[in-house]
Structure 1
Amino acid sequence: MLALKAENISKQYRLGEVGTGTLSHDLNRFWHKIRGKEDPYLKIGEANDRTTKGDSEYVWSLRDINFEINQGDAVGIIGRNGAGKSTLLKLLSKVTKPTTGKIYSQGRIASLLEVGTGFHPEMTGRENVFLNGAILGMTRKEIKRKFDEIVDFSGVERYIDTPVKRYSSGMYVRLAFAVAAHLESEILIVDEVLAVGDAEFQKKCLGKMGDVTRGEGRTVLFVSHNITAIKELCNNAILLEKGQQIMQGEVNRCIIEYQKNSQVKFSYDYLNHPEKVENDKIQVKSFITEPIAGDMINIKSGVRVTVTFMSKLENVDIDLSFFLKNSHDLTVMSTGLMVCGNKDAEKGDYTVTFEIPPYTINEDSYYFDFFWGINRSEIAFRTEAFGFEVNGMQNQFGEIIKSPGILFPQIIHKIEKV
């Protein structure tokens, strides 16, 4: 049974203006409408790319989004900043209307889009529970029945009769989430508000949302940059990029596709790349990943990582460490070594090679955090721009072979002064 359906929904904004346009624009739209013609301002506008300076004063925050979400699904909305994630949730929550398209929903929607949405700062926590619950569609009888449970979950019982203007942002979000999560709605929409809470509260919220989907069969839409939380909570995902829908489907596939599109460099040569990876101490000259054996990287071949960099320093100790992360932002491996272990180190080029043994890491996309340390203390350089992709292998039954997950493999290091 469908819970939500979006048909060709788009949202256009006019930059630098409050509202959708001027009186002349509204009259022009009306004139085209009574003549049975298309809105002229739907034909203009640019994609929402914040990294480039556009020519149009109109921007499409979302363009031609189509999806169907079944009842009981937990769906993660993922994408980079400015992809249109929050705009999509506002449209689904009916906070704002789409410029084009239609949204169909089955059941009551509870949304938590910003910290303390619907809270009045002069009112106490107790009063705001009733106020916010009423805004979300709960009856007074329903709020009374759930009040103790809401306060217990929020953990602010001691301050429940204190005006919320004296609450910290963490206390705000605790109480606001507790109200929304305990509303007996069919659909729960949660934006990136959990980033405000501490680690214990985030874990508690994720557990509650898991109970909502798996235990109560309600539908959850969840926006977060915490890829691990998306993977743990959601079974499906929607990937957005610059207002466009890239894909919808199984959460792991969407996460891997998101990682592929996140500007990870699978190889790099500073002579041929417009963006130089350097600072005033270290310059990365090249980076390459290749199979130790065979023609392509897979779990059987192993991976050889070669980094060539130029040190702009002398008479210092230089050490290099890397942390290997998978597409879910989990660190799966780390290692480090001393590049120059004496005070007579000279300026120049160095090549460092790491070899990750076969059957150590599984099919996935991976990227690095690199750290160049100076005299064992100062971090000289860090980048998350380098990575590689591992392809799985199938056995005779067509099943993907899985790595045994060696925790501390013997990683081979090699250092050369060029």
Structure 2
Amino acid sequence: MSYAIRARHLAKQYRIGAVKHRITGYTTLRDTLTDWFRKGPASAYKELWALDDVSFEIKQGELVGIIGRNGAGKSTLLKVLSRITEPTRGRAELYGRVASLLEVGTGFHPELTGRENIYLNGAILGMRKREIERNFDAIVDFAEVEQFIDTPVKFYSSGMYVRLAFAVAAHLEPEILIVDEVLAVGDARFQKKCLNKMQDVGQQGRTVLFVSHSMQSILRMCQRVILLNQGKVAADGPAQQVVGVYLGKGEHSIAERVWPHRAKAPGHDIAHLRAVRVRDVDGDISDTIDIRAPVTLEMEFVVTIGGYVLQPYFRLYNEDSVAVLTTFDLDPAWRRRPRPPGHYWARVTIPGNFLAEGLLYVEAALTTLDPPMGQFAERDAVAFQVIDSLEGDSARGDWGGNIAGVVRPLLPWQTTYTPLG
């Protein structure tokens, strides 16, 4: 299989502060020389490497996600690959026609109508008028702007702008499609349409490079993910593995945490925490869980002083720090019974089609009941990502929009019908 993109030692340097005098006024030669001798030549600006020795290869037909925190270099990388910005060092090779959607308004002339911009973008991509006409109706239908297609795009809302821009980029048959977080401007239903369209583009043997802060979208779409951190490639590999590195800030899964040394483990004299784990339906440690499948939380703890009634429990929080649920250990084998010293494994299984989509943080805690006294409460012990299904057999059904709520149970419905008249 041949390559679509090759990045070789890409680096991009910006000079912070170099444009200061253009805003506040010009600088005289005297000012420049005085500043030079007083502080040195570097005082006029600071060097920032937005990209630093970035290298990777992407094969034709791959759907690759680019993730990283704000300022990691994601947008700079896409601008370099799209030929908007020249690299300071290194080389980027792209094999095939490239369509980019990097920010609202990219590639559109505000004074031209939607129709005229479709033809303009097609011409820029090197397409003939006949090719553009063949895709014109599909573009307008996908963007849902038929009523405004002959209106100058400067009068479009940001949502209309994005819908048309994405439709043009995806339908004019580029060999390489580069999409930034701009899709966040659209509503949830349209975002789902875009994700499906990008998957279709990939299945047609074309290459998609997709930047997003939504780990759900990344994990749905991409088998491979590149993680950028401070302008460097921090990880490159299978999507689930790299997302785990990103969320966990380390090399290990965020679904398991172990305290091998008693001195550093959460706890007091009576008991201390040994490990917390998230297991999927197969019993494997996993930081991504299908919304339809059960998930098991496991707490491993050690009791050093016996004779106390202990209450283990888990509490789940979502990304907004809202408590989703609390579940107590009600195993009848130990309920209201003092526990002797020893090693304990407490597990609870949350059924499928119950939790809502998103990232969930797990607090593992243990308290004595008589007298009530907390032994440990590790707030963000582990975490896992719940991934919603696009197959229509989860609680989402056929709804593509946003669904509010901290849980999403699949509940039985019944509808009765009586004909009119």
Is residue 250 of structure 1 aligned with residue 238 of structure 2?
yes
Is residue 232 of structure 1 aligned with residue 220 of structure 2?
yes
Post-superposition offset of 1:245:
0.5
Residue-by-residue CA offset, 1:301-347 (whole Å, 9 max, x unaligned) = 953499xxxxxxxxxxxxx995356xxx899x941489xxxxxxxxx
Q: Which residue of 2 aligns with 1:110?
A: 99
How far apart, in 2, do the equivalents of 1:176 and 1:387 lie? Answer: 42
Distance 1:235 1:337, change over 3 A: closer
What aligned pairs does 1:353-364 form with structure 2 within 5 A after superposition?
A: 357=347
Is residue 323 of structure 1 aligned with residue 308 of structure 2?
no
Q: How many residues align?
A: 290
RMSD: 4.3
TM-score of the superposed pair, with normalisation by structure 2: 0.60
Is residue 90 of structure 1 aligned with residue 79 of structure 2?
yes
Matching residue's letter, 1:290: A
How far apart, in 1, do the equivalents of 2:351 and 2:238 lie? Answer: 21
Is residue 303 of structure 1 aligned with residue 298 of structure 2?
yes
Post-superposition offset of 1:116:
2.1
Which sits farther off after the overlay, 158-167 or 59-68? 158-167
What aligned pairs does 1:9-408 form with structure 2 within 5 A after superposition?
A: 9-18=10-19, 57-214=46-203, 216-261=204-249, 290-291=275-276, 302-304=297-299, 322-324=315-317, 334-336=324-326, 357=347, 367-368=360-361, 386-388=380-382
| Local SS of the residue matching 1:181 | helix
| Local SS of the residue matching 2:96 | coil
| Local SS of the residue matching 1:176 | helix
How far apart, in 2, do the equivalents of 1:261 and 1:337 lie? Answer: 27
Distance 1:168 1:304, change over 3 A: same
Conserved 8 A contact 1:124-1:164: yes
How far apart, in 1, do the equivalents of 2:346 and 2:187 lie? Answer: 35
| Local SS of the residue matching 2:70 | coil
Residue-by-residue CA offset, 1:24-56 (whole Å, 9 max, x unaligned) = xxxxxxxxxxxxxxxxxxxx99xxxxxxxx997
Conserved 8 A contact 1:7-1:102: yes
Conserved 8 A contact 2:361-2:382: no
How far apart, in 1, do the equivalents of 2:327 and 2:95 lie? Answer: 57
Distance 1:148 1:14, change over 3 A: same
- Rg larger for: 2
Post-superposition offset of 1:231:
0.8
How far apart, in 2, do the equivalents of 1:298 and 1:210 lie? Answer: 28
Conserved 8 A contact 1:118-1:135: no
Distance 1:182 1:386, change over 3 A: same
How far apart, in 1, do the equivalents of 2:199 and 2:320 lie? Answer: 20
How far apart, in 2, do the equivalents of 1:302 and 1:120 lie? Answer: 54
Conserved 8 A contact 1:213-1:219: yes
Consecutive unaligned residues of structure 1, counting only runs of 5 or more, are 22-43, 46-53, 269-286, 307-319, 339-354, 371-384, 391-406, 409-418
Residue-by-residue CA offset, 1:112-150 (whole Å, 9 max, x unaligned) = 111121212222111121122223333322212211111
Distance 1:120 1:252, change over 3 A: same
Distance 1:98 1:125, change over 3 A: same
Distance 1:110 1:321, change over 3 A: same
How far apart, in 2, do the equivalents of 1:337 and 1:195 lie? Answer: 34
Matching residue's letter, 2:208: V
How far apart, in 2, do the equivalents of 1:330 and 1:126 lie? Answer: 42
Distance 1:356 1:226, change over 3 A: farther
Matching residue's letter, 1:303: E
Conserved 8 A contact 2:158-2:185: yes
Matching residue's letter, 1:222: F
Consecutive unaligned residues of structure 2, counting only runs of 5 or more, are 23-40, 260-271, 278-283, 287-294, 302-312, 329-344, 353-357, 364-378, 385-407, 410-421
Residue-by-residue CA offset, 1:58-89 (whole Å, 9 max, x unaligned) = 01001011111111000000111111011111
How far apart, in 1, do the equivalents of 2:381 and 2:97 lie? Answer: 43
| Local SS of the residue matching 1:143 | helix
Conserved 8 A contact 1:291-1:301: no
How far apart, in 2, do the equivalents of 1:337 and 1:361 lie? Answer: 13
